[in-house]
Chains A and B, each alone.
Chain A
Amino acid sequence: MAYIEDIRSRFGDPDALSSRYEITLIDDSRALISGQKGLQIISNEEVVVRVKGGKVRVYGEKLVVRSASREEVFVSGSIQGVEKLYEA
Chain B
Amino acid sequence: MKRDRTRYAVPTKRAAYLMRKAVKAGVTIYDVTLGENKTAFSVERGGERALEAILTAERIERNRVRERTGKRILSFLKARPVFAAATVLSVMAFSFFQCFVYRTEISGNRFVNTKTIAAVLEAHKIDGFTFKGQVDVPSIRSDVSALDGVSFASVRIKGNRLLVEIKEELPSSDTEKESFEPVRARLSAVITKIVAESGTPFVKIGDKVKKGDVLIAPVYTFTEGEGLAPAKGEVYGVTTYKKEIVLPEISVQNERTGIKQAVRSLFVFGKEIGEEKAPPFSSYDLSEKVVFEALGGSVRVVERTYYERRDAVVFHDFDLELPALIEKETQNLLSSVPFYAVTTGGVTVEQKKMDNILYIVLYYTVEQRLDSLFAPE
| Chain A residues within CB distance 8 Å of chain B | 38-44, 48, 64-70
Contact = CB atoms under 8 A, between A and B. Distances in A.
Contact of A66 (B31, B34, B39): B31
Nearest to A70: B23
Interface in B1-57: 15-16, 19-20, 22-24, 26, 28-34, 39, 41
A42 B34 contact: yes
28 contacts: A38-B20, A38-B23, A38-B24, A39-B16, A39-B19, A39-B20, A40-B20, A42-B16, A42-B32, A43-B34, A44-B34, A48-B16, A64-B31, A64-B32, A65-B19, A65-B29, A65-B31, A65-B32, A66-B30, A67-B28, A67-B30, A68-B19, A68-B22, A68-B23, A68-B28, A69-B28, A70-B24, A70-B26
B38 to A, nearest CB: 13
Contacts of B31: 64-67
B26 A42 contact: no
A40 B18 CA distance: 10
A38 B34 CA distance: 18
Contacts of B26: 70
A41 B34 contact: no
Contact of A41 (B16, B22, B24): B16
Given A39-B20, A41-B16, A70-B23, A64 B28 contact: no
Contacts of A39: 16, 19-20, 23
B30 A42 contact: no
Chain B interface bracket (under 10, 10 to 19, 20 to 34, 35 or more): 10 to 19
Nearest to B33: A64
A42 B19 contact: yes
Given A42-B15, A43-B34, A70-B23, 15 more contacts: A38-B20, A38-B23, A38-B24, A39-B23, A41-B16, A65-B29, A65-B31, A65-B32, A66-B31, A66-B32, A67-B31, A68-B22, A68-B23, A69-B23, A69-B28
B24 A68 contact: no
Nearest to A74: B30
A42 B31 CA distance: 12
Contacts of A42: 15-16, 19, 32, 34, 39
Nearest to A68: B29
A39 B41 CA distance: 14
A43 B39 CA distance: 10
Contacts of B15: 42
Contacts of B39: 42
A67 B28 CA distance: 7
Contacts of B23: 38-39, 68-70
A67 B23 CA distance: 10
A64 B39 CA distance: 11
A70 to B, nearest CB: 6
Identify the interface centre among B20, B22, B41: most chain A CB within 10 Å of its CB: B20
Interface in B177-200: none
A42 B30 CA distance: 13
B65 to A, nearest CB: 18
Nearest to A76: B31
A39 B29 CA distance: 11
A37 to B, nearest CB: 9
